[in-house]
Amino acid sequence: MNVTTQLPLRILCLHGYRQTGTTFREKTGAFRKQLKKHAEFVFMTSPIQVPSNDKVKEEEGGGGGEGAGWWFSQPNNSFRAQEVSQCVKGYQECLDAIEEFARESGPFDGILGFSQGAAMLGLLCGLQQQGKLSFSFKFAIFASSFKSRSLPHQSLYSETITLPTLHIYGETDQSSECNAPLPHHSSSFMTDFTGTQVVGERWVERLS
């Protein structure tokens, strides 16, 4: 009799603004414990550091201390989720770093992003949909996400995203623009949460 062992899903994790891979890993301990039989979570840290004078609000993905980000919405190295801007300072450097990390530490079945990391994930989905990404992934999990308002990013929202996506929002999220999945995601599942219990096994089943 042949016995097939299903390997855990490998999921790349993108932290929020003013966080690091290490701090994001610490904050997701309970979440990862729920899914330890089903998924391996791999955390990376953005290469661009957030200056200590950028006092971004907690609801915009701030980690409350020193950390990193995925791009700045102003040339003075600051970021606001609701700010319409021509600036995407640091974005290309971070995109290059993600692609390099995927080459060296991948492959990954899916990607999980939190806050600005989830916004970055939305851009990765657009790049993959348009055939402009050097690696591939099968699903995306957005936690407290928002759509980038930086104008150079808008072309990445032009095509419908066909891979499965999960959108998770908290009751108090203020930077999340909508109460439903982004309209350019065709195969999506949405939920909300209270407290620290974010995702359960049934959502892994939906995405795998």
| 23 falls within a domain | yes
| 51 falls within a domain | yes
> Residue 120 belongs to what domain range?
13-207
Q: Contact 107/10 with Cβ under 8 angstroms?
A: yes
Tokens matching residue 75: 């040339």
115 dihedral zone (left: phi>0; alpha: psi -120 to 50; beta): left
| 22 falls within a domain | yes
Q: What is the pLDDT of residues 130-140, one digit of tens each?
A: 999 999 999 99
CATH of the domain at 81: 3.40.50.1820
Structure pTM? 0.82
Measure the CA–CA gap between 149 and 22, rounded to whole angstroms: 27
| 2 falls within a domain | no
| 147 falls within a domain | yes
Structurally, the chain folds into a number of domains equal to: 1
Q: What is the pLDDT of residues 32-66, one digit of tens each?
A: 888 888 999 999 999 999 998 665 554 444 555 57
Q: Contact 17/62 with Cβ under 8 angstroms?
A: yes
Q: What percent of the chain has pLDDT over 90?
A: 59
- pLDDT surpasses 50 at 147: yes
The gap between the terminal CA atoms of the chain, to the nearest Å, is: 25
| 5 falls within a domain | no
| 110 falls within a domain | yes
| 3 falls within a domain | no
